[in-house]
């Protein structure tokens, strides 16, 4: 076999963001009025996802391609009721990591503070 393991990679995040932009451009060309993702919010999300991939590489001591299937869903974390619940979700996700994860979890929780969930663009009613 070979190839990369499952899980969201940086390329997936970039292509997902590109797909969103393409869809928005297509919608715009069709003359439909839509609420678009805030570009700044998308960029923040992308930077955060790249940081997460980099940090997971350090925690697991491997390259992105060799990384175990660890999925950190930012929207899922934002859905959590409070910081404690978010921290618990992250601890469960990183349960098989042999390095200490406390600093990563603290930093990630700090970085997502104030972020909004990215829900699909909605059609505006006029």
**Helix or strand or coil: residue 3?**
coil
- Residue 119 tokens, joined: 């829900």
Rounded to 10 degrees, the C-alpha dihedral 103/94/11/107 comes to -20
Question: In the predicted model, is pLDDT for residue 110 greater than 90?
Answer: yes
- Interatomic CA distance for residues 49 and 9, integer angstroms: 9
Enumerate domains of the chain plus CATH numbers: 39-113 (1.10.150)
CA-to-CA distance for 64 and 84, rounded, in angstroms? 28
Q: In the predicted model, what is the mean pLDDT of residues 93-107? A: 93
Tokens of 90: 């992250």
Residue 2 has pLDDT above 50, yes or no: no
pLDDT digits (tens, 9 = 90+) for 47-90: 999 999 999 999 988 776 777 788 899 999 999 999 999 999 99
Helix, strand, coil % (nearest 5) of the chain? 60, 0, 40
Average confidence score pLDDT of the chain = 76
Q: Which residue has the tokens 């200490």?
A: 100
Q: Report if pTM > 0.75.
A: no
The residue with greater pLDDT, 32 or 119, is 119
């Amino acid at each position: 076999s070979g190839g990369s393991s499952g899980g969201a990679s940086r390329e997936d995040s970039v292509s997902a963001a590109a797909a969103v932009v393409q869809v928005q451009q297509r919608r715009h060309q069709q003359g439909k009025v839509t609420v678009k993702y805030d570009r700044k919010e998308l960029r923040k999300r992308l930077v955060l996802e790249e940081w997460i991939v980099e940090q997971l590489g350090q925690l697991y001591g491997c390259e992105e391609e060799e990384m175990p299937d660890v999925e950190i869903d930012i929207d899922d974390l934002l859905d959590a009721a409070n910081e404690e619940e978010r921290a618990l979700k992250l601890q469960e996700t990183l349960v098989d990591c042999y390095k200490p994860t406390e600093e990563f979890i603290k930093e990630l929780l700090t970085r997502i503070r104030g972020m909004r969930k990215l829900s699909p663009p909605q059609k505006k009613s006029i």
